[in-house]
Amino acid sequence: MDAAYAAAEEGSYHASELTRGPWHPEHQHAGPPSALVCRAFEQAGAVHGLTHLGRFTGNLLRPVPIGALTIEVAEDYVGRSVGHFSARLIAGGKDVARFTALLQREADVPVPDGTPGHPLPEAPRAPADCPPVTMPFAGRLRGYGDLVENRVAEGRFFQGPCSIWFRLRHALVAGEAPSPYQRALVAADSGNGISACLDFARYSFVNGDLTVNLLRRPVGEWICLQARTALAGNGCGLAESALYDEAGLIGRATQSLTVRPR
């Protein structure tokens, strides 16, 4: 299948090998299912004219298997300007992740000239000026490293703080063009991996959550993560990423890490 997912009946999907993550050959990387749930949130918000995804939070309860998935979305509250939604991601009859989202109604409110802190910063380098790179785990088995292509804006892959561009090589859902928000969510969960500062062979450092805040709709196909991992020495850590498109800063992502020796 030349896409991360194939849609079945309403709310049900089948994951392809392109969703495979680096931790286990039968488990998905958290980026693609997060983007799939983002798609469901976008559809729920559009009914009310809520077109901007301001915040997306995922609580990753169990590994997400490569196979059949179901998404159930609930409308928690919809007001004049914002709506709060929640969702369950279900596999094998169990909740494997739960999500919440804030969607906002957009309005034309230009930023006045001279506003402090504006214009917002840009990514370190444009993707056209950056060398391509392949994720170290790509090629062993077809997976996430084949779903996306990468270019290095600064630093080095898996050796501490770095800035990496992401672009989807394949559709998220077969027969559909991914939305800008879906492109951002596919990439946003990778901050922990690309800025890894521990040896994969000696340590695991899995994130149990993902929160993404976006200030505007991304433009174009490329998303840059300027990522850093911080470790506390207590078996816990934090990965944080500034997110950019080719026009500049679009938001931030954070992940809580559990660090253990293998």
Spatial CA neighbour of 104 closest among 27, 142, 50: 50
Q: pLDDT tens digits, residue range 25-49?
A: 999 999 999 999 999 999 999 999 9
SS3 46: helix
AA identity, residue 92: G
**Which phi and psi (to 5°) does residue 157 adopt?**
-55, 130
Instruction: Give the pLDDT band of residue 141 (cuts 50, 70, 90).
Output: confident
Domains detected in the chain: 3-106+123-261 (2.40.160.210)
Determine the Cα–Cα distance for residues 125 and 145; give it in Å rounded to an integer: 22
Peptide bond into 124 cis (omega under 30): no
Determine the Cα–Cα distance for residues 234 and 135; give it in Å rounded to an integer: 28
pLDDT, position 91: 98
pLDDT, position 9: 86
pLDDT, position 148: 97
pLDDT, position 200: 86
Handedness of CA 21, 167, 207, 40 (dihedral sign): negative
pLDDT, position 256: 98
pLDDT, position 22: 86
Q: pLDDT tens digits, residue range 57-107?
A: 999 999 999 999 999 999 999 999 999 999 999 999 999 999 999 999 999
CA torsion 118-124-125-130 (nearest 10°) is -160
Checking if the pLDDT of 138 tops 80, the result is: no
pLDDT, position 64: 97
Spatial CA neighbour of 67 closest among 103, 93, 101: 93
Determine the Cα–Cα distance for residues 113 and 166; give it in Å rounded to an integer: 31
Cross-strand partners of 257: 207, 237
Cross-strand partners of 259: 205
Instruction: Give the pLDDT band of residue 139 (cuts 50, 70, 90).
Output: low
Q: Which residues 6+ apart lie within 8 Å of 88 measured at CB?
A: 71, 72, 95, 97, 98, 99
Range scoring the smallest mean pLDDT among 138-147, 195-204, 231-240: 138-147
Neighbours of 72 (CB within 10 A): 12
Mean pLDDT value across the chain: 96
Checking if the pLDDT of 140 tops 80, the result is: no
Checking if the pLDDT of 228 tops 90, the result is: yes
Determine the Cα–Cα distance for residues 12 and 143; give it in Å rounded to an integer: 21
Determine the Cα–Cα distance for residues 245 and 180; give it in Å rounded to an integer: 10
